[in-house]
Amino acid sequence: MQKNRRQTTILKLITAKNIGRQEELAEMLENKGFSVTQSSVSRDLDELGIIKIGGFYALPQKPRNAVAFGLLSLQTAGENLIVAKCESGLASAVAVRIDAMDIKEIVGTIAGDDTIFIAVGGKDEQKTVIKKIWETFDK
Amino acid sequence: MQKNRRQTTILKLITAKNIGRQEELAEMLENKGFSVTQSSVSRDLDELGIIKIGGFYALPQKPRNAVAFGLLSLQTAGENLIVAKCESGLASAVAVRIDAMDIKEIVGTIAGDDTIFIAVGGKDEQKTVIKKIWETFDK
DNA sequence: CGATTTTATGCAAAGTTTCTGCATAATCAA
DNA sequence: TTGATTATGCAGAAACTTTGCATAAAATCG
């Protein structure tokens, strides 16, 4: 399955260059060895949450209120882990909030000083959890 | 897909009656409208974590002394992680005990307030470690 | 121990789900 | 409005999951 590698490449491409059309992106991917049409690029962008800002594709800004609560980013590490970066010293506080959400897909969380590890059962759960956390912190 | 409904039914059946053979379970499922062979029942029981206790299938009991030591549950998250839930504040203490067991399949542990992450090399090691931990705490 | 019963598993087929391209509809920009 | 760009219904392809069969492995009984 090359969807994941392709989407990773898309993320790199849009941060490296200003890309204004999906067709353009599709061509760049072809050059990198991916065989893909505009249709799929459209769906990829949707799944990655990439939107057009000022005529170019980019990752949406971080919800500012999340930052207010100390949460800076959510990244995946493999299929079973989500790593949350927080402002220094606030990881525990953020983790408490996350635990309080009582998300059933979360197997467990551990907080350090500025990092939280969130264990999940698999790929799908990972997606769901990230979505739920952002939703809650984005208020 | 009727796997999920079937497994739910299995859970109900084994708590309602004493069932000693997989073939027996398969027949009961047939009566309830599921078409299933012993092979699948075997796999279901494995997935549900059901084991034979005193000649009958049952969900494994939580060793009562484990609770006394603060350990509440062990769950997996993927093949490389075991998540231990503990009573609030006791995770470090439980982790120390686990580390002291010197289980060679454990790559590393990290403890938060009420959660421990235990890293293992793979599926088999995961099974072994869970078994060893329960055994030790069940004394 | 050896025989018999019970359980686990490699493999291939069937069943499901996910991914993709095509054609085209919907949206956007000028 | 018109042309350019993006989104989407649908059908086929590809990937993954579930299952039964046959049989290997393990447990039980005498």
Q: Among B58, B83, B100, where does a domain finish?
A: B58
Mean pLDDT of B106-130: 85
pLDDT at B138 over 70: no
| CB nearest B78 (choices: A110, A111, A122) | A122
CB contact under 8 A, B77 and A110: no
Give the residue whose CA sits closest to C16 at C1'. B1
CB < 8 Å to A92, chain B: 113
Instruction: Check whether residue B129 and residue B75 sit in a common domain.
Output: yes
- In angstroms, the CA A89 to CA A70 distance is 9
CATH number of the domain that residue B9 is part of: 1.10.10.10
Q: Which residue of A has its CA nearest to B112?
A: A110
What is the domain range of residue B19? Answer: 3-58
The pLDDT assigned to B90 comes to 92
Better-scored residue on pLDDT, B69 or A94: A94
Instruction: Check whether residue A34 and residue A87 sit in a common domain.
Output: no
Q: Which pLDDT tens digit goes with each residue over B80-99?
A: 888 999 999 999 999 999 88
> Which nucleotide lies nearest residue A37, CA to C1'?
C21
| CB nearest B77 (choices: A95, A111, A121) | A121
Q: How many CB atoms lie within 10 A of CB A82?
A: 23
CATH number of the domain that residue B133 is part of: 3.30.1360.40
Mean pLDDT of B58-84: 79
The pLDDT assigned to A7 comes to 92
| CB nearest A80 (choices: B77, B84, B85) | B77
Instruction: Check whether residue B40 and residue B78 sit in a common domain.
Output: no
Mean pLDDT of B109-138: 82
Q: Among B37, B58, B79, where does a domain finish?
A: B58
Instruction: Check whether residue A82 and residue A22 sit in a common domain.
Output: no
The angle subtended at Cα B100 by Cα B95 and Cα B102, nearest 5°, is: 110
Instruction: Check whether residue B126 and residue B76 sit in a common domain.
Output: yes
Point out the residues of chain A with pLDDT beneath 50: none
What residues of chain B have any CB closer than 8 angstroms to a CB in chain A? 75-81, 83-85, 110-113, 115-117
Instruction: Check whether residue A78 and residue A25 sit in a common domain.
Output: no
Alpha-carbon separation of residue B68 from B5, B116, B137 (angstroms): 35, 17, 9
Backbone angles phi, psi at A93, to 5 degrees: -60, -45
The pLDDT assigned to A105 comes to 82
Instruction: Check whether residue B34 and residue B54 sit in a common domain.
Output: yes
Alpha helices in chain B (DSSP H): 3-16, 22-31, 38-48, 64-68, 91-101, 123-137
Instruction: Check whether residue B115 and residue B92 sit in a common domain.
Output: yes
Q: Which pLDDT tens digit goes with each residue over B7-64?
A: 999 999 999 989 999 999 999 999 999 999 999 999 999 888 898 888 899 887 766 6
Instruction: Check whether residue B71 and residue B39 sit in a common domain.
Output: no
- In angstroms, the CA B98 to CA B83 distance is 13
Instruction: Check whether residue B82 and residue B104 sit in a common domain.
Output: yes
- In angstroms, the CA B36 to CA B6 distance is 9
Domain count, chain B: 2
Instruction: Check whether residue B85 and residue B121 sit in a common domain.
Output: yes
